[in-house]
Amino acid sequence: MTTVSERDTGVSLPGEASYEAATRVFNLVAPARPAAAVTVRTLQDVRAALRFAASERMPVRVHTTGHASATARPMDGALLIRTRMEGAVEIDASRRVARIPAGTLWGAVVEAASAHGLTPPHGSSPDVGVVGYLLRGGMSFYSRKVGLAVNSVRAVELVTADGERRRVDDTTDPELFWALRGAGGGFGVVTAVEVDLFPVAKVITGAAFWPAEHASALLRAWRRWTEDAPWEVATSARVMNLPALPDVPPVLAAGPVLCVDGVVLAESDGDLAVAREQAEDLLGPLRAVAAPVLDTWELTDPAGVLQAHMDPSDPVPIVGDHMLLGEIGDEGAEELLRVLGPGSGSPLVVAGLRQLGGAYAVPPVAGGALGHFDARYAYSGAGVPDGGLTREAILEHCATVRAALAPWDTGRTAPTFVERLDQPQGHLSGDQVATADRVRLRVDPEGLFRHDALPATTALI
């Protein structure tokens, strides 16, 4: 291998501070330990890194924040590229399009777009990287209205294995553009994306929490509301066993709680009255079951959506599982509570259902490899292996939940919700995998990026 004294590429090796910075991940249960690492900020940086990898015969891996590190293949012998491309988010308000450099986090995009009365279909955390979220599908609280976030991508800029900078869209290399949007990666280093924005005036967002003793009645009422809920409203219902930490309100750490959170979208000021009615239709029956111990639902600016879900802001070890479910009915809801609710012994810190339907289920006219979900709910659950709780104990309970929900499991998964490499997963058909592999072979015949593809999205490894 090239010695550490060769600094022209910026590549660093284990033990160096720049290596630790480039390999930092959000999910501490799955640290990244490649043979070498580099943070890239310019096209020249990217090309130098690829030349280095090719000369040393090192496979290339790419990440931004490491939120999905537990889903990554082993990096033994690899060069890990961390993208932190220079430049600010550029908003074209007249076209309702944002150009976003790779490495940008969602909080910066929401802030830039909100100045123009616009917003992107972002995730629930301000600290997640834009590119990985988008190109793996992206499940936004706005997706019931505007569809999967990946459908908002209008162009992708990337550097392929040959060092060529490409800008691809539906007219320039439409086959590669199709593959980039949801086929699992392994095509190059994405340096920027262009994304559609949509208008938003205000949102009603927040979370309400009840003691878990009311969970059965609450979950039944919530599930029935989801059956014909308006597309402008998206919610999740979760059982939470939160630890007693300084940033956790004591009332939420006193025992299991059931949380219903989400977003009601008002695209214009004229939509506010309807939005208030929609919020009351959701929350009124739930508040009638019992008074919440904490209720943060309020009318606010779009930036408030990034705080409603209470995603952790600091790196944490996470072990969990995920499935896409069909209509579970009252029977499925009771099964869910049997393995997650009071008396279940669940070690999961948070577990529950994200409401799908609406535009989630509508295939886009000119979509990519992943464009919609034929499912009613996304289940996800996670625990933190700490304080005597082992990874094995969490996985054992994940298996219990999976068995209980098996009658409603569609067999499909949402890539951004997958929690670990070895869980059952799949969002592409066999024909789609074959098509994606043909694209990979065309743009990367030597397989430099081959191991950067998600599991179940390639037959080349």
Q: What percent of the chain has pLDDT over 70?
A: 98
List strands edge to edge, sheet with 165-168.
90-92, 97-101, 189-196, 153-159, 165-168
pLDDT in tens, 362-419: 999 999 999 999 999 999 999 999 888 999 999 999 999 999 999 999 999 999 999 9
**What count of other Cβ atoms lies within 10 Å of the Cβ of residue 35?**
17
Tally helices (H) and strands (E) across the chain: 13, 18
- CA distances 351 to 85, 216, 348, 356, 427, Å, are 35, 15, 6, 16, 21
Identify whether the C-beta of residue 40 lies closer than 8 Å to the C-beta of residue 46: yes
Fold of 90-199: 3.30.465
Q: How far, in Å, are 42, 61, 165, 321, 373 from residue 159 at the CA level?
A: 11, 13, 4, 33, 30
Q: What is the mean pLDDT of residues 103-122?
A: 97
CATH match of 17-83 with 3.30.43.10: yes
CA angle 414, 416, 422 (to 5 degrees): 80
* pLDDT grade for 4, boundaries at 50, 70 and 90: very low
Tell me the per-residue pLDDT of 271-295, one tens digit each, with 9 for 90 and over. Answer: 999 999 999 999 999 999 999 999 9
Task: State the sign of the Cα–Cα–Cα–Cα dihedral 39, 45, 47, 48.
Answer: negative
Listed in sequence order, the residues at least 6 apart from 73 whose beta carbon sits closer than 8 Å to its beta carbon are: 421, 451, 455
> Using CA atoms, how far apart are residues 383 and 460, in angstroms rounded to an integer?
33
User: How many angstroms separate the CA atoms of 353 and 326, rounded?
Assistant: 11
Instruction: Give the mean model confidence (pLDDT) for residues 187-216.
Output: 97
- Report the C-alpha gap between 260 and 212 in whole angstroms: 12
Helix, strand, coil: what percent of the chain each, to 5?
Answer: 35, 25, 45
> Is 267's pLDDT higher than 60?
yes
Tell me the two tokens of residue 382: 């996670």
Report the pLDDT value the prediction gives residue 309, as an integer from 0 to 100.
83
Average pLDDT over residues 335-361: 97
pLDDT, mean over the chain: 95
Label residue 388 exposed, middle or buried (CB < 10 Å: 0-12, 13-18, 19+). Answer: exposed
Please tell me the distance from the alpha carbon of residue 131 to that of residue 153, in angstroms, as a whole number. 10
Provide the H-helix boundaries in 227-350: 250-253, 272-289, 305-308, 329-340
Q: Tell me the domain boundaries of the chain.
A: 17-83, 90-199, 202-417
Q: Is residue 8 very low, low, confident or very high in pLDDT (cuts 50, 70, 90)?
A: low
- The side-by-side arrangement of strands in the sheet containing 79-83 is 36-40, 79-83, 60-63
- Following DSSP, what letter does each residue of 124-171 receive, concatenated? S-TTSBHHHHHHT----TTHHHH--GGGGEEEEEEE-TTS-EEEE-SS
d(CA 109, CA 103): 11
pTM: 0.95
Contact 238, 336 (CB under 8 A): no
Q: What pLDDT sits at residue 9? A: 74
Q: What kind of architecture, by CATH, is found in domain 202-417?
A: 3-Layer(aba) Sandwich (3.40)
- Predicted local confidence at residue 340, as pLDDT: 97
What's the token pair of residue 114?
């909100």
pLDDT in tens, 352-374: 999 999 999 999 999 999 999 99
The answer to whether residue 5 scores a pLDDT higher than 60 is no
- Please indicate whether the domains covering 90-199 and 202-417 agree at the CATH topology level: no
Mean pLDDT of 219-241: 97
Q: What is the pLDDT of residue 243?
A: 87
Provide the 8-state DSSP code for 78: P
Is a pLDDT exceeding 70 seen at residue 169?
A: yes
pLDDT in tens, 207-222: 999 999 999 999 999 9
- Quote the CA–CA distance of 116 and 382 in Å, as a whole number: 37
Structure-block tokens of residue 326: 């069909």
Closest CA to 275 of 201, 204, 206: 204
Which residues, in sequence order, are CB contacts of 395 under 8 Å at separation 6+?
Answer: 319
3-state secondary structure of 1: coil
3-state secondary structure of 31: coil
Contact 109, 84 (CB under 8 A): no
What pLDDT is attached to residue 2? 44
Q: What does the angle CA 393 – CA 394 – CA 395 come to, to the nearest 5 degrees? A: 90
- Whether 46 shows a pLDDT value over 60: the answer reads yes
Q: What would the pLDDT profile of 127-160 be if each residue is shown by its tens digit? A: 999 999 999 999 999 999 999 999 999 999 999 9
Tokens 């123009």 sit on residue: 116
Positive/negative CA dihedral, 280, 286, 287, 288: positive
Percent of the chain with pLDDT over 90: 93
Contact between 80 and 63 under an 8 Å Cβ cutoff? The reply is: yes
